[in-house]
Structure 1
Amino acid sequence: MLALVLTIVNNIYAQSSYELNSGWKCAPVNSVKETGAVLSTSAFNTTGWMPATVPGTVLTTLLNNQKVPDPFWGMNNEHIADIYKTGADYYTYWFTKDFKETPATGSNQVYLNFRGINYSCDIYLNGHKLNKTIQKGMFLRFNYNITPYLAKNGDNRLAVLVHPPDVVGNPNGGQGGDGTIARNVGLQYTAGWDWIQPMRDRNTGIWDKVTIQKTGAVRIADEHIVTLVPGVRLPEGAQQPAVIKVAAELSNPTAAAVNGSLSFELDGKTISKAVSLKPNSTTNVSFADYSLPNPKLWWPNGYGDQHLYNFKLKFTAAGKAISDQHQLNIGVRQLTSEYNEHTGSRQIMVNGQKIFIKGGNWVISDAMLRLSDMRYDAEVRYHRDMNLNLIRVWGGAMIERPEFFEACDKYGILVFQDLWGSGDCNGRWQDPQKLDDQWTRRQYPDDHGLFLRSAIDQIKMVRNYASLAIWCGGNEITPPEDILTALRDTILPKLDNTRWFVDYSNSDSMSHNVLGGNGDGPYGIQPLSVFWEFKTFPFNSEVGSVGVGDYESLKRFIPTANMVPPVYDEETHKTKTDSVWDYHKYIGYDTAINKYGKAKNAADFAMKAQLVNYDQYRGLAEGFTSHMWDWYTGFIIWKTQNPWTAMRGQMYDYYLDPNACLYGLHNGSAPFHIMYNPINGMVMVANNTFKARRSMMMVVKTYDMEGKQNLLTQVFADINATTVKKYFSIKGTVDKLAAKEGVFLSLQLLDENKKVITDNTYWIPDSKGGFSGLQKMKAEELSVKAKYIKPGRVEVTLVNKENSVLAFFNRISLVDADSKTRVLPAFYSDNYVTVLPGEEKKLIIDYNTPASKKKLELNINGWNASNVPRTVSIDE
């Protein structure tokens, strides 16, 4: 009986891990005279110290203690002291944490793990210094065996002295300031960029998770799971076996040898291997290849399901006591890439099938590193909802956290992961704002060894995620030659040899246009003709447009006094912009707003901006997709999200509120999509699925501003898998109908039951290129009903009366009935919706369940709504 009890206790002990994420305190280094050995004992009184946010940065802690104003609001960031002027000590802080943990018994071990400290630190526990030399490296995981240092009474104190980056850089307005921030192995955006102001503390702090882990004598680390799926597969039907390769590192820090077995469990089967570990040793253990019968495969968004297997890996010591175990979800898939001679670019293959890449560039979730599982999940879900299938993580930030990759696995988003570096800071171009010349900057960072050690560590951290597809040497430039050679020829072949490595983000090896070489762009507002007719780089890593949010979004960071819309002068081609808008990196909409009528105020400007947003990103997605496998193998939008309250390059704002960019992309990037080329009038269908479609009815209509319908054609249509098909041009007819005041063009594909498969409504300008008719539309007669389907889900039904005008461009918002503020995040199956006369549309809204405890209602704001805004209750 005693043996059974001891086994149960050991099992529980071996599986115990918890975060130290509350109860921290901190103080600036200059206010503390004592040493770490003293601070890390319970005898030292920290009563007067400030509550600290961990994980977090010094600036986050100061903000949470109301010591600084919110740097994301107005011009507040200008009122926060910058480290370049104050000196590093100003943001150098001691952090302490008291925690309970009794000493380990027998051969059991206790570890202290840090997943990220920026930039260097000394660590003390109960009067003992844990690191012999200063720990340095923002992108290194530190772990310490603290078994010998735990207090006998279980009351422990941890003290960590955190220093800012070695070189803080001058935030002089350049990309990465004066560029010297890149002398560190760390974040470059913190010194400012063209989409963000500088972070004043350069993100100093214990910015990622701190955990206590308890094991038996043997610890598992850096497991490596590789899945191979030979042949060309389809999502449906029985599958030939997949090959699973499993390896892990085992360590035994004790003075005694340990015998036992390492085993993994997958799909109900357990595979074991006997292992003997010498005292004070670390060894790598590999299993024989395992054949997984009839696997459920993982596919990118739009191509199939994202099945994830629960995978358990454990070490069991002799006597059947579990010493350590890890559990993770793995997707079974195989990634390959090949050069497409026709397009002149690489194409990505998953499970043997080529995938047309529709991607978004991602910087970081939060500029102050306030990272969370919820925020990662919401942001990645928005990318899924845009019908994208890839996120590129930009090289001026970081290798994203495991929780980000978990969300990408869940939603089917491939990841193109840059390593640390950018052409701006690292010397690709001559730049008078940079302190050092190109030759010097080309060798950044100062410590190449630290870069490589960090790369090794972070590769091990994220290599098991199905979504991780591409490793990249850096943004628009390769790392220094010795780093590049080590990564390409040694590190990645050894640690992660199944993924494509591209030397830099717009490398010739990735994409090569007919004019020679590769590149990116264009950026900013473009005539739609550019997206459809201008042949850019065949795998374009950065192409994008604008992204101002609506009025509700602007109110979250612009003071009332600064709610002044930009004014574009069509003669001088210059824009007069308010100082706060300018500070938050507004880029011009140029003539695009005036085509809808000059903005009366900021609210009117923001509404008209949404029409531009939708049209720009629908046009971008459709234009690139229209040439897939002919001109292009993929495109990646610069950019789809902001980690700060910026006013450019975003499909949703910092507060997770979507704007019309998101829904323009949702429409234009749909896996199965009907579309219209506004330049040559061609009606086309894109099929980004593995299924051919037959016996569909194509219905093409126009509606004038009074709602009068004109059927242009109605024909049967079919299309093969993974292709684009041109049907016919209607340009002459549409241009004639639109000449006076514009016209609406409705495209629909119906299935055999006359149900809409895909539809698309365009607003075509008049002969002068303006939208004169939209400016005098009659009020629509849209009826709106909403009901709860289940907690966290609402169904909305929109019905437009027969013989009415179109109910044009309706924004639906889920709001708190008391505060009238939007529920964020909320996920709409569609938005900025146009409802044709006599048409009914249903939308689904998903939201986080805590909001279900509140009283909710809908807010509807349409271009020609009779009551703006209108409020709709939700039926139980």
Structure 2
Amino acid sequence: MRALLLAVLWVCQSCSCPGPTPPPPELATGERLVLREGWQLQSSAELSATGAELSRPGFEGARWHPARVPSTVVGALVEAGVFPQDLYQGMNLRSLPGMDYPLGENFTNLELPSTSPFLPAWWYRTEFELPAGVSGRKVWLTLDGINYRANVWLNGQKVGALSGTYRSFELDVTGAARPGGRNALAVELFAPRPTDLAHTWIDWNPTPPDKNMGLWRDVSLTTTGPVAIRNPQVVTRLESESLAHLTVSAELRNTSEQPRTGTLRGSVAGVWLESTVTLLPGEVREVRFTGAEVSGLDVRDPALWWPAQYGPQSMHTLELEFVEQGGAVSDRSRLRFGIREITSSVTENGRVFHVNGRPILIRGAGWARDMLFMESAEREAQEVSLVRDLGLNAVRFEGKFGSDHLLDLLDDAGILVIAGWSCCDVWENWGRNADGEWTRELKWNEEQWAVAEASTRDMALRLRNHPSVIAWWYGSDNPPEPETEAMYLRVLGETRWPNPVQSSATAVETALGGPTGLKMRGPYDWVPPNYWLEDTRRGGAFGFATEISPGAAIPEIESLTEMLGPEHLWPIDEVWSYHCGAVQFRNVDAFTAALSARYGTASGVLDYTRKAQAMTYEAQRAMFEAYSQRKYRATGVIQWMLNNAWPSLIWHLYDSSLAAGGGYYGTKKALEPLHVQYSALDRSVVVVNSGLGAHPDLRVSARVLSFDLTPLHEAEATVSLGPDGVATALVLPVLTPPSDTYFVRLELRGADGAPHSTNFYWLPARPDVLDHDYEGPDAWYMTPTTSYANLTRLQGLAPVALEVEVSPSRREGDERLKTVRLTNPSTHLAFMVRLKLTHGPGGAEVLPTRWEDNYVSLLPGESRTVVARYTEADAHGAEPTVESSGWNVPKTAH
């Protein structure tokens, strides 16, 4: 019978209770025993015992802190109550021992101070039971992520001496393991030094005092017979969307001292695979299946995996087992994958990525992990839902890689991933010269080279099967020197990396990597909305910009209070600076100067945050709209960033509490699947289609209004869009507004009259003026504004009382939906109306909440219906209250 019976992957956890832990159910072949709970943590400075003693079951004689894994040392100590829970508020982080490095400095490149409690090693320790049934089988201990060096002990025996943050270590612990009995595992960890190829935070945020030392990914045990299956892979080559050629491969490892004969068999996409092999003692062999041997691997009409706005995210399963001659199953493996092919090419405009042969304009953002690496699976799911809600189609991992669970979520959500090494640390500096300065001219030492090679290999094997992962950038702000680049390319070839690779995120061409088709020329600080279509030298809407941003992202007052503490809300002080970035990004001065000039000097923190939401809304919307309008002269844009590692005033689309402000909803507006937008540069009204469907006979209307809402111009047009298309529907005439500020309102409807998109702009009669020829030392991150636009009249908008109708929440799948209808009964503009759900009147915000639109502006007599999505758990099982407020709309609970 050819039915392949594979056990469902079962993950069990060690008990955190004292005393003997009952043995888990039988640890079947292909299952993992993941050791997550019940760990203990302590500094080696507080211990006199050796690793052999600490790894003996029942060891006593030390006081331990409770911990879980994955975790970092500081993260675990926060959870254990050793350090305060409000570590991220104000400057509380500076109260931790070892945090006395200079403010704003990049601690990555500094040694731990001699007084730091994290200079000595720290021990993680746990006990667990192994089922008696694994006796006679190989037992493997896997540490998926250590930071940075570790000595590993099991039951009194040293089983490994490890180094490398991005390595995955599989240790044969058969001789030390005790099936049917109590086992003790102890891991001695050492923090990274400046010369180590570790996690770094660069200028994003402060670096915690332990430099993220810890067991930052899973620790688990598996068992096999003498032959193990490792590194399965499915590679797709598409002849067309209706014919896919699959290549299936896996490594077989004979871990015994005798020859082994058996059959590798399994199924993929409904196709049976089978190959009989004989392995010599210790032999590792790759077994491959192609359409030449298995005709079913040429799949007709395959269920393809697509990015979110292009189609469904169809996932498939490869199941394999190795059966020995006597019929015993030596090992099993199960792999999720998608049938899809990623290609890219460099055009005269920049690098263009293709998914299944279709070009796609990359519109993404940089991903940050929690600063202490303590995020939960629930948090990861919430953040992925926000990415998809925004309309982004990609995230970039610059050396900050999430869990396998996160990658699975991105696969299922259809969010593309661009991954690679980080900048501004030893990954891009190969040694120090005699003056102690970093230089690319020196070479890594033997250990660094080995860690870099092994890290690249392990990351490639980890990422290569995820359909969401589309590229690997083995440099960030700089390409590697030639010898290192040759090593990287060799390893990627040996691991059969299936996707495009680029030597860096910059335009620098290398002899081996060739042209990148990318650019990294800023900006990272505030620029006005007109920058993106005017600039032709740096971050403007042309080519593929790998990291750019309009800078500061001031959250709403609730999050700001939680971040800074009530005593530091106003005026702007050193606590604000601490929650910016490092080095050049230690303040919000450029943003504040622009806010004061354009919208009027803030009278206090409430006025500042109100104006900041308008600033970030228009800034983020303009950036993404510009790149969309110029598809494929513009081939990609990565917003710097999506989120922050801790509460921050710069570089995010939603804040660390998952609250969404003006920047979020300006981005979401720009990235609507079918979107109408206005360009003040050439007065064009443009319609953008981000999907693969055609849209004939779309109806576009445009209204230009003076500040007092007197109509200045009205126009209508019909336009048809093909898949992934862009079309100019209208060009408005040159007008001379009678005031400093005027408005443009756009609407897009289908041929049937159904609304697809609305858009509202507040515009200056005289735009901001930039010095595009500026070549100063800070030109890489900012372009000076020599004359600011005048939008200060918005301060005088008359108050408006809205009519708000709220419907009871209804259930849709795992979510709750709340519908709100807004009506402006007045003769005035209701500007930047914010809606939020709260835990009762005056209560905290329900987070996260995903509104289909927010910060909306309503003309006199206009009504809008918007829907909010949230979970019952996030609302604490109660019906939430709707609160409305706005620029000129009083706060009201409904």
- Whether TM-score is above 0.5 comes out as yes
Partner of 2:856: 833
**Equivalent position to 1:716, from 715, 718, 724:** 718
Q: Distance in 1 between matches of 2:330 and 2:873?
A: 38
RMSD between aligned residues? 3.2
**Equivalent position to 2:638, from 632, 636, 641:** 636
Unaligned residue ranges in structure 2 (runs of 5+): 9-23, 99-111, 292-296, 581-586, 767-788
Partner of 1:683: 685
Partner of 1:597: 600
Q: Distance in 2 between matches of 1:620 and 1:587?
A: 19
SS at match of 2:301: coil
Partner of 1:581: 576
**1:644-703 CA deviation, whole Å, 9 max, x = no partner?**
222101001122222221111111123322111123322112233333322121111245
Partner of 2:524: 523
Give the counterpart letter for 1:210 in structure 2. Answer: V
Aligned partners of 2:381 and 2:409 also within 8 Å: yes
Aligned partners of 1:506 and 1:518 also within 8 Å: yes
Are residue 27 (structure 1) and residue 35 (structure 2) matched? no
Partner of 2:785: none
**Equivalent position to 2:137, from 90, 105, 108:** 108
- Higher mean alpha-carbon deviation, 723-732 vs 679-688, is at 723-732
1:478-497 map, 5 Å:
478-488=479-489, 490-497=490-497
C-alpha distance 763-50 of structure 1, shift in aligned 2 (>3 A): same
Partner of 1:63: 78
Q: Distance in 2 between matches of 1:45 and 1:292?
A: 60
- Higher mean alpha-carbon deviation, 278-287 vs 55-64, is at 278-287
Aligned partners of 2:27 and 2:33 also within 8 Å: no
Following TM superposition, by how much is the alpha carbon of 1:613 offset from its aligned partner in structure 2, in angstroms? 0.6
1:456-471 map, 5 Å:
456-471=457-472
Following TM superposition, by how much is the alpha carbon of 1:843 offset from its aligned partner in structure 2, in angstroms? 3.2
Are residue 372 (structure 1) and residue 376 (structure 2) matched? yes
Following TM superposition, by how much is the alpha carbon of 1:323 offset from its aligned partner in structure 2, in angstroms? 3.5
Q: Distance in 2 between matches of 1:708 and 1:439?
A: 62
Partner of 2:340: 333
Give the counterpart letter for 2:893 in structure 1. Answer: T
Give the counterpart letter for 1:541 in structure 2. Answer: T
Aligned partners of 1:671 and 1:688 also within 8 Å: yes
**1:90-129 CA deviation, whole Å, 9 max, x = no partner?**
4521111011113445643322111111111111111111
C-alpha distance 453-532 of structure 1, shift in aligned 2 (>3 A): same
1:620-659 map, 5 Å:
620-630=623-633, 632-659=634-661
Aligned partners of 1:123 and 1:130 also within 8 Å: yes
Partner of 2:286: 284
Following TM superposition, by how much is the alpha carbon of 1:619 offset from its aligned partner in structure 2, in angstroms? 0.6
1:770-849 map, 5 Å:
770-773=791-794, 775-790=796-811, 791-801=814-824, 804-817=827-840, 820-849=843-872
C-alpha distance 318-803 of structure 1, shift in aligned 2 (>3 A): farther
Aligned partners of 2:705 and 2:711 also within 8 Å: yes
Q: Distance in 1 between matches of 2:872 and 2:224?
A: 36
Following TM superposition, by how much is the alpha carbon of 1:411 offset from its aligned partner in structure 2, in angstroms? 2.0
SS at match of 2:487: helix
**Equivalent position to 2:165, from 114, 138, 152:** 138
Partner of 2:97: 81
Give the counterpart letter for 1:756 in structure 2. Answer: P
Following TM superposition, by how much is the alpha carbon of 1:444 offset from its aligned partner in structure 2, in angstroms? 8.0
Partner of 1:174: none
Partner of 1:570: none
C-alpha distance 10-108 of structure 1, shift in aligned 2 (>3 A): farther
Following TM superposition, by how much is the alpha carbon of 1:10 offset from its aligned partner in structure 2, in angstroms? 12
Q: Distance in 1 between matches of 2:752 and 2:122?
A: 67
Aligned partners of 1:445 and 1:451 also within 8 Å: no
Aligned partners of 2:45 and 2:120 also within 8 Å: no
**1:361-409 CA deviation, whole Å, 9 max, x = no partner?**
22x3111111433223322332222222222212xx3444322322221
Partner of 1:608: 611
**1:252-275 CA deviation, whole Å, 9 max, x = no partner?**
334555443323333333322223
Aligned partners of 1:301 and 1:412 also within 8 Å: yes
Partner of 1:860: 883
Q: Distance in 2 between matches of 1:154 and 1:430?
A: 50
Following TM superposition, by how much is the alpha carbon of 1:493 offset from its aligned partner in structure 2, in angstroms? 1.9
**1:715-754 CA deviation, whole Å, 9 max, x = no partner?**
2222343333223332533x42xx3263332111111221
Q: Distance in 1 between matches of 2:712 and 2:331?
A: 70
Partner of 1:504: 504
Following TM superposition, by how much is the alpha carbon of 1:428 offset from its aligned partner in structure 2, in angstroms? 11
Q: Distance in 2 between matches of 1:35 and 1:423?
A: 34
SS at match of 2:533: helix
Partner of 2:749: 750
C-alpha distance 563-219 of structure 1, shift in aligned 2 (>3 A): same
Aligned partners of 2:431 and 2:443 also within 8 Å: no
Following TM superposition, by how much is the alpha carbon of 1:138 offset from its aligned partner in structure 2, in angstroms? 1.2
Give the counterpart letter for 2:880 in structure 1. Answer: E
Aligned partners of 1:528 and 1:678 also within 8 Å: no
Q: Distance in 1 between matches of 2:117 and 2:763?
A: 57
Following TM superposition, by how much is the alpha carbon of 1:484 offset from its aligned partner in structure 2, in angstroms? 0.7
Aligned partners of 1:25 and 1:49 also within 8 Å: yes
Q: Distance in 2 between matches of 1:427 and 1:564?
A: 41
Q: Distance in 1 between matches of 2:482 and 2:156?
A: 44
Give the counterpart letter for 1:20 in structure 2. Answer: L
Q: Distance in 1 between matches of 2:432 and 2:187?
A: 40
SS at match of 1:388: coil
Following TM superposition, by how much is the alpha carbon of 1:863 offset from its aligned partner in structure 2, in angstroms? 1.9
SS at match of 2:714: strand
Aligned partners of 1:423 and 1:475 also within 8 Å: no
Are residue 312 (structure 1) and residue 334 (structure 2) matched? no
Following TM superposition, by how much is the alpha carbon of 1:209 offset from its aligned partner in structure 2, in angstroms? 0.7
**Equivalent position to 2:387, from 371, 383, 390:** 383
Partner of 1:299: 306
Identity of aligned residues (%): 24
Q: Distance in 2 between matches of 1:777 and 1:302?
A: 40
Give the counterpart letter for 2:318 in structure 1. Answer: F
1:36-51 map, 5 Å:
36-45=51-60, 48-51=63-66
Partner of 1:765: 764
Aligned partners of 1:380 and 1:411 also within 8 Å: yes
**1:269-322 CA deviation, whole Å, 9 max, x = no partner?**
332222334444432221123112211112223222222223323334446554
Give the counterpart letter for 2:80 in structure 1. Answer: N
Aligned partners of 1:334 and 1:352 also within 8 Å: yes
Q: Distance in 2 between matches of 1:841 and 1:731?
A: 29
